[in-house]
Chains A and B, each alone.
Chain A
Amino acid sequence: MTSKLTTSNRAGWGFALPGFALIATFIVLPFIFAFWLSLTNQRLISPNPTEFVGLDNYRSLLSIDVLSIEPERDAAGALVRDDDGALSYPAVRGFTRNNPDYPQYAGMREWFRWHWGDTAKVVIATDVIFWKALANTLTFVLVVAPVQGALALGLALLINQRLRGINFYRAVYFMPVVVSIVVVSLLWRFIYDGEDGLLNNLLSALTFGAFTGMDWLGNPDTALGSIMAMSIWQAVGFHMVIWLSGLQTISPTLYEASAIEGASKWQTFRYVTWPGLRNTAVLVVIVITMQAFALFAQIDVMTNGGPLDSTQTVVFQAVERGYGKQDISGGSTISVILFVLVLTISLIQRWLAREKT
């Protein structure tokens, strides 16, 4: 039965219009705005008129270089060593401040360095915090995506069994997803607390007092890891449900066929389950990656990017610049860079997971 409504082209567009309008208003338009603002020096509130600055914002965010610094030598050409025998190097700011020999390094600061023989290789960037944020975000993605994906699959396999009360477990694993990430972050601040946190208490009880406590979020070495662990825990249930729906599309007769052939558990997973989850895997990986890149609320609630910028992230920086520092153009630039980054990675993932014929 084809009514006029289902065949009319105009009706079709009519139905699509509300969706289009919402997407255009809240996604496409803001993005175009952001792109435009990233080419200006717009501030949130400013007495000065906005100027078009071209790619200056991108330049100052992205410029990065490696500086090779030779150790200092005395008049005879011998290496100068201090009392401990360590080499001494000229200060980086000698190159980056008012040095007419190195105009390209003007205004840059040291991010980190390593040694190549006696030469010190110093990575310098105009916007070191942005680079730290980018590095933290990528680390977060590289750890969280595989761990969370695998963990979620493991849980999905466990709860895909026909057991009595299995819905209870499904609900329990899914519960953190329903709770707002802000609330979860607040709760985990208590868990990670350095003084009397739940985790410290637990560890000290388990080690009979040998473990004396740790300020998980206050220590630059553990802060990012702590946030990763908590983020993995919070969203694992969501991806578990996606995996579960994928698992349930696999025909039970395929499992019966492989049981008759004598496949072990692992072989069944390898030859039946995993190939059947192919499309689900692409979805899960892309969604986790995008969510991980968007890491913000946990940082905002738990660490504010600290300590020592060890938990700075790209989105946190975008917000911090745009609203904290009222630098709308800087925030917009970061947003555009993040967009391009996530888009590129998603496209690469899709290409890698394409159907090979």
Chain B
Amino acid sequence: MATVKLRGIRKSYGPVEVIKGVDIDINDGEFVVFVGPSGCGKSTLLRMIAGLEDITRGTLEIDGKRVNDLEPSKRGIAMVFQTYAIFPHMSVRENVAFGLTINGVGKAEKEAKVAEAARILQMEHLLDRRPSALSGGQRQRVAIGRAIVRDPKVFLFDEPLSNLDAALRMDMRMEIGKLHQDLGASMIYVTHDQVEAMTLADRIVVLKDGQVMQAGAPMDLYHEPANLFVAGFLGAPSMNFMDVRVSEVTESNVTVSNGALDPVAVPRKGRDFTPGQQATLGVRPQYLSPAETGRGMLHGRVALTERLGSETVLDITLKDGSKLIAALGEDRILAPGTEVNLNFDPGQAHVFPEQR
């Protein structure tokens, strides 16, 4: 169990800087998820922690000790790769025991550790098989088993579930969550799937272009996104954004409106606005609902209705031509073409000074 501390971490490939100064503190036993779009540098960051890539600048500490120049095997980490990276010519047992074999651990201890890992991952019956006779999920289990046996201070996962199909991904996701509870080890998990991030993480680190956009507990990020990027990245279906014009700024609120939106006062959360400027208003689809009484705040027409069972998703074309999605809890059919007026709780809306 250990803490991991990143200070001003940077990485350049030649003239190209791909990680642009990252500071993160990971507490003992914490499950941290790095999430972000493809190419934002998640893997690079993780591989620097693992020691598979050099750190161009900054310091990396594990358990209070600077490990920048330490070999991967000496850092007390274990890594699980997207492509499993299990040795095809070894049985599952040999694969799981690989690190122990390499380090000359005695037979009895080896057996015991492999058995323990197999028990945790419920794969005792697979131990004598070859990897070619395993499904993708089982292979990933073997890779996780190999990590467990090392008894690492920090587990690193690089998109471990990306090669699995949707159903299996959900099972394995739960298993990894359970593994974290059982072992209580610090874990760093890279994914571009925000559902994995939301469900697994104690803390999410949202990255973009090699920089941290926001870090915090999943629901904090969901409810209080620090910027437009984080607001749009987390949540499914993603947040609706509207180009609006600021008409009034008070101590705590900012009043915005546009062609389809009646003026509404939204908490400004300490962000600075000047009257007359353009801004972006964000409302999650779940917080939009058709106005039962009165004329509502947003005006448009239904373009499409999708019933998903648990919710109904309305595609709406607003009066000013922009599009919007509303997710209604109940099974409510509104025929395409119907005029709708929508309401939302201004407390659940976000306004950002930057434009899309």
List chain A positions with a Cβ less than 8 A from chain B: 251, 253-254, 256-264, 267, 271-272, 275-276, 278
Can you identify 16 A-B contacts, CB atoms within 8 angstroms? A253-B83, A256-B52, A256-B85, A257-B86, A257-B87, A259-B71, A259-B72, A261-B98, A261-B99, A262-B73, A262-B99, A263-B73, A264-B102, A275-B90, A276-B88, A276-B89
Complex CA gap A267/B87 in Å reads: 13
Which residues of the other chain, B, contact A278 by a CB distance below 8 angstroms?
A: 89
Complex CA gap A258/B102 in Å reads: 9
B85 touches A253 (CB 8 A): yes
B293 contacts the other chain (CB 8 A) = no
Q: Assess A259 versus B73: contact at CB under 8 Å? Given A253-B81, A267-B102, A271-B98.
A: yes
A257 touches B85 (CB 8 A): yes
Inter-chain contact total with CB atoms closer than 8 Å: 62
B79 touches A262 (CB 8 A): no
Closest residue on chain A to residue B73 by CB atoms: A262
B319 contacts the other chain (CB 8 A) = no
Closest residue on chain B to residue A256 by CB atoms: B52
Which residues of the other chain, B, contact A259 by a CB distance below 8 angstroms?
A: 51-52, 71-73
List chain B positions with a Cβ less than 8 A from chain A: 50-52, 71-74, 77-79, 81, 83, 85-90, 98-99, 102-103, 146, 150
A260 touches B87 (CB 8 A): no
A260 touches B102 (CB 8 A): no
A251 touches B85 (CB 8 A): yes
Q: Assess A262 versus B103: contact at CB under 8 Å? Given A256-B52, A271-B98, A278-B89.
A: yes
Closest residue on chain B to residue A261 by CB atoms: B99
| From B51, B83, B85, residue with most partner A Cβ within 10 Å | B85
Q: Assess A272 versus B50: contact at CB under 8 Å? Given A257-B79, A261-B99.
A: no
* Min CB–CB distance B136 → chain A (angstroms): 15
Which residues of the other chain, B, contact A260 by a CB distance below 8 angstroms?
A: 50-52, 72-73, 77-79
Closest residue on chain B to residue A254 by CB atoms: B85
A257 touches B89 (CB 8 A): no
Which residues of the other chain, A, contact B52 by a CB distance below 8 angstroms?
A: 256, 259-260
| From A253, A267, A278, residue with most partner B Cβ within 10 Å | A253
B81 touches A261 (CB 8 A): no
Given A257-B85, A261-B98, A261-B99, output 5 extra A-B contacts at Cβ < 8 Å.
A253-B83, A260-B51, A260-B77, A263-B102, A264-B102
Complex CA gap A321/B153 in Å reads: 75
Which residues of the other chain, B, contact A258 by a CB distance below 8 angstroms?
A: 98, 102
B87 touches A254 (CB 8 A): yes
Complex CA gap A275/B88 in Å reads: 9
A261 touches B73 (CB 8 A): yes
Complex CA gap A253/B71 in Å reads: 16
Which residues of the other chain, A, contact B51 by a CB distance below 8 angstroms?
A: 259-260
Closest residue on chain B to residue A264 by CB atoms: B102
Complex CA gap A256/B82 in Å reads: 13
Which residues of the other chain, A, contact B99 by a CB distance below 8 angstroms?
A: 261-262
Complex CA gap A272/B98 in Å reads: 11
Closest residue on chain A to residue B47 by CB atoms: A256
A275 touches B102 (CB 8 A): no
